[in-house]
Structure formats: C-alpha cells, structure tokens
Amino acid sequence: MNILQLDSAITGEASVSRKLTADIVARLKAQDPAASVTYRDLNEGVAAIDNAWFHAVRVVPENPSPEQQQLIDRADAYLQEVQDADVLVIGLPVYNFNLPAQLKNWLDQIARAGVTFRYTEAGPEGLLKGKRAIVGYASAGTPIGSEIDHASGYLRHMLAFLGITDVTFVAADRLAMDRDAGLARAQDVIDQIAA
C-alpha cells in the first residue's frame, strides 16, 4: 500500500489536523507495516495556478522555457504522487469556514483535463479510480456537514470529480466548544479504520 500524506495547517506543532493525519497513517502502518508513505507539507508553498501555469502545463509548449519547465515539473510531481498512491491521507484544517488556500492550490494543480478527469457524453468522469481518501478534518467552531462548513463538501466533491469516491472523514470539530469531546470523536473513527 502506498500512502500519500498531505498536511496544510499553518499552526505547526499545535495543529490538530496534523495530529489526525499522523494518527491515521500510524493506524494504517500498524495494519500494513510494509506500507510506504510519501509526505508533502502543502504549507511549504503550493503556487496558485495562473496564466503562466496555464501556458506551461495546460498548453504544453513544444520547447518550454526554463521557467515553464519548472512549472511543469512541479505540477507533474504533485500529479505523480497522487497517481502512485493507493490511499490519500489529507489534513483539512478549516479556516474561515473553508479549506486552506494551499490545499485548494494543490487541487487546482492536480485537476488536469485528460489526465485526472475527462468530459464524456454522460458528463465528467474522474480518472483517479480505485483510490481511497481519509480526511483529518479539524475546526474550532465549524461543525462538519453543517450549512457553514464549506470545506468538507467541496473536498468530497473535488475528490469524486477526480474519481476518488471512497472517502472517510475523521472529524475533530467544534474544538473551541469542547476540545476533549472533539478529539475523542475523531479517535473513535481512527480506531475503526482498516487498512
């Protein structure tokens, strides 16, 4: 089993979502000690897609400039990590009712027409099938699945759009109201995860 662990919290060691992803990976590794883990901290910087990215990655010039090649290489590295993974363990800290910009930027980098999704007569088809995602959701006050939670629904939709429909959320939500209860709810879900 190949695991891709993605963190995006800006709070470092104090991050609950980072603790959740670490605990989820530890649980998977305990069940499958031979599992490999690729780790990427999105907080180290994921460029937003822009005009330069479009002309390098989507248009694919025949003779890319050094700057374009750098954009292509970075986007392809993100993509290869996802393609190689059997399981994605994604940290989802909720900031201002939504996912962090760096996680959105990563999704934009890997959402590539003809590679991770395609349009058919029946509508869009995700091409990253057969993968599983486990999401460590952490929020101070936003209940998961509530009308003010714009993070979990969007991430679930994007993963499904890319073909990843086996998605489990491990939620430590409403931590500002009752931290211990939120962490306990998350631990109960982690304890039931099977590799």
Q: Which residues are annotated as a binding site for FMN?
A: 15-17
> Alpha-carbon distance 117 to 125, whole Å?
6
For residue 28, what are its two tokens? 């998977």
Contact 170, 134 (CB under 8 A): yes
* Rounded distance between C-alpha atoms, residue 24 and residue 133, angstroms: 11
Q: Rounded CA gap, 91 and 43, in Å?
A: 11
Structure token pair of residue 39: 């780790």
Binding residues: 15-17
Dihedral, CA of residue 181, residue 148, residue 144 and residue 169, to nearest 10: -150
